[in-house]
C-alpha cells in the first residue's frame, strides 16, 4: 500500500479544488477517477495535468471491474469520495441518475474497497481511510429558531438528491460497523467558489447579472443557507483525512447563514462594481419564480466538533469569499464559455422557461 489517494469525482467543482490544493502541498500522489458527466471538467485541472504526481482515469464508480483494477494497480492508502449527482432541481426532474450514482455507485465502491482493504496487512489496514463527502441536506429543514444541525441530528431528507445522499451515508456507516472499514464522513453546507457549474445559485446569478439577464429567485427568496468557501471545505477534508477518528462524522460549515435573496443582492452589487455598467442597476433584474417542490427553508451547520477535535476553522468570511468568487467568474470567460454550451443552455431553458 502506498500513500496514493484515489479521488472519485475529481473533475467536479469540489473535487478539482481538492486535488489542486493537495497537489500544491505535494503530500501524496493523486489518482482522479471521474466519469466526466456534464459537471465534470478536466480543464479545471489543466495546471497539474502533466504533473508526475497526478493521474486521470476516466470511469464510473458503478463499474466494479474498473474500480477493482484501479485499486489493485495503484494501491492507494486512502479514498476520498466526491463522485455524486448533486443538484436538487435535476433530482426532482430525473431521480434515477441520483440513485444509480449516489446509492448504487457508492455501494459498488464500498464493496471493492472492502475487498481491497481486506487484502492489506494489519498495519496497512489500520492506516487506510475511506472518506465520504456528503451534504447538510440529509438532515432536512430547520425552523427559524432551531439550533444548527449537529452530527447527531436525525436524518430527514426532503428531495430525491438528499435521500440518495442519506442512503449513501448509511451505507458508509454500515461498512464501518459491520466490516471494520475505517470510514470517515463529512457533511458540508452550501459550497461556492471557482469552477462551480453554473446551474448553482451563485455562479448562475453572477453570469446572468453580468449579461443583463433575469435573476430568478425561488419563492420569496427567504430560504436560508450556510455558505462555505470551497477552499475552506477542501482544507477541512484534508484535516479529517489526516486526523479524523474512523467511524466518525464531521460537519463542515462556514458560520455564514444568509437568505437567498441577500446572496443575489450582494452579487448584483459586486457585479455592478466590477463589470461594465448597465442602463439600470442589476438589482432590477431580480424576478421571483414559483418555488420548487420540497424546498427546505433553512440549513445551518454546527461545526464545533471539527474545530474542537481537529483545529479547523474557515479562513474566508462570506464578504471576502464572495468577492473572490465574483471576480473569478468575471475574469475567466473562456472557462465559462466552455461549460455553458449545448446541454447546459437546454437545461436552463427547460427549467427557467417560465
pTM (predicted TM-score): 0.94
Is 292 part of a structural domain of the chain?
A: no
- Distance set, CA 263 to CA 96, 145, 224 (Å): 31, 21, 10
What is the DSSP code (8-state) at residue 309?
H
Q: How many CA atoms lie within 13 A of 193 on its CB side?
A: 24
Question: How high is the pLDDT of residue 87?
Answer: 82
Q: Is the confidence at residue 348, as pLDDT, over 60? A: no
Is 34 part of a structural domain of the chain?
A: yes
Q: Which residue has the higher pLDDT, 95 or 27?
A: 95
Report residue 142 as a C-alpha cell.
430547520
Active site residues: 136-137, 161
| Cβ–Cβ < 8 Å for 57, 29 | no
Average of per-residue pLDDT across 218-238: 96
- What are 335-347's pLDDT values in tens digits? 998 887 766 556 5
- What are 208-224's pLDDT values in tens digits? 999 999 999 999 999 99
Rounded to whole angstroms, the Cα distance separating 194 from 328 reads 6
Rounded to whole angstroms, the Cα distance separating 269 from 249 reads 37
Rounded to whole angstroms, the Cα distance separating 193 from 152 reads 28
Q: Is the confidence at residue 57, as pLDDT, over 60? A: yes
Is 214 part of a structural domain of the chain?
A: no
Give the DSSP H/E element, type plus range, for residue 323: helix 318-331
Is 281 part of a structural domain of the chain?
A: no
Number of domains comprising the chain: 1
Question: What CATH number should be reported for the domain holding residue 80?
Answer: 3.40.50.720
Helix, strand or coil, per DSSP, at residue 197: coil
Is 148 part of a structural domain of the chain?
A: yes
Confidence class of residue 96 from pLDDT cuts 50, 70 and 90?
very high
Is 344 part of a structural domain of the chain?
A: no
Helix, strand or coil, per DSSP, at residue 344: helix
| Cβ–Cβ < 8 Å for 28, 52 | no
Average of per-residue pLDDT across 281-307: 93
Q: Is the confidence at residue 254, as pLDDT, over 50? A: yes
Question: How high is the pLDDT of residue 345?
Answer: 54
Residue 100, phi then psi, degrees to nearest 5: -65, -45
- What are 104-140's pLDDT values in tens digits? 999 999 999 999 999 999 999 999 999 999 999 999 9
Is 350 part of a structural domain of the chain?
A: no
Q: Is the confidence at residue 269, as pLDDT, over 60? A: yes
| Cβ–Cβ < 8 Å for 318, 227 | yes
Domain that holds residue 172: 5-197+227-258+297-318
Is 222 part of a structural domain of the chain?
A: no
Confidence class of residue 291 from pLDDT cuts 50, 70 and 90?
confident
Rounded to whole angstroms, the Cα distance separating 140 from 156 reads 5
Amino acid at each position: 500500500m502506498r500513500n496514493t489517494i484515489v479521488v472519485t469525482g475529481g473533475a467536479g467543482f469540489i473535487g478539482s479544488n481538492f486535488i489542486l490544493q493537495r497537489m500544491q502541498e505535494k503530500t501524496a500522489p493523486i489518482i482522479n477517477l471521474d466519469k466526466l458527466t456534464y459537471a465534470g471538467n478536466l480543464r479545471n485541472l489543466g495546471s497539474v495535468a502533466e504533473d508526475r504526481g497526478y493521474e486521470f482515469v476516466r470511469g464510473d464508480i458503478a463499474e466494479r471491474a474498473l474500480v477493482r483494477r484501479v485499486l489493485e494497480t495503484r494501491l492507494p492508502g486512502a479514498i476520498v469520495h466526491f463522485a455524486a449527482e448533486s443538484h436538487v432541481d435535476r433530482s426532482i426532474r430525473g431521480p434515477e441518475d441520483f440513485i444509480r450514482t449516489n446509492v448504487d455507485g457508492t455501494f459498488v465502491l464500498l464493496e471493492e474497497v472492502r475487498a481491497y482493504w481486506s487484502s492489506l496487512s494489519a498495519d496497512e489496514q489500520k492506516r487506510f481511510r475511506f472518506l465520504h463527502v456528503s451534504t447538510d441536506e440529509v438532515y432536512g429543514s430547520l425552523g427559524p429558531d432551531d439550533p444548527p444541525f449537529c452530527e447527531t441530528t436525525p436524518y430527514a431528507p426532503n428531495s430525491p438528491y438528499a435521500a440518495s445522499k442519506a442512503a449513501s451515508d448509511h451505507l458508509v456507516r454500515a461498512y464501518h460497523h459491520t466490516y471494520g472499514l475505517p470510514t470517515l464522513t463529512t457533511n458540508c453546507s452550501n459550497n461556492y467558489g471557482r469552477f462551480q457549474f453554473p446551474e448553482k445559485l451563485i455562479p448562475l446569478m453572477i453570469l446572468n447579472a453580468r449579461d443583463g439577464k433575469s435573476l430568478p429567485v425561488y419563492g420569496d427568496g427567504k430560504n436560508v443557507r450556510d455558505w462555505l468557501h470551497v477552499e475552506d471545505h477542501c482544507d477541512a477534508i484534508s484535516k479529517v483525512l489526516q486526523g479524523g477518528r474512523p467511524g466518525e462524522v464531521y460537519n463542515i460549515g462556514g458560520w455564514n447563514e444568509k437568505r437567498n435573496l441577500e446572496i443575489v443582492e450582494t452579487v448584483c452589487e459586486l457585479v455592478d462594481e466590477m463589470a461594465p455598467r448597465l442602463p439600470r442597476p442589476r438589482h432590477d433584474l431580480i424576478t421571483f419564480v414559483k418555488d420548487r417542490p420540497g424546498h427546505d427553508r433553512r440549513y445551518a451547520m454546527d461545526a464545533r466538533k471539527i474545530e474542537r477535535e481537529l483545529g479547523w476553522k474557515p479562513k474566508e468570511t462570506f464578504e471576502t469569499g464572495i468577492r473572490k468568487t465574483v471576480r473569478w467568474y468575471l475574469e475567466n470567460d473562456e472557462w465559462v464559455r466552455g461549460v455553458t454550451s449545448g446541454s447546459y443552455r437546454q437545461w436552463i431553458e427547460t427549467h427557467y422557461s417560465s
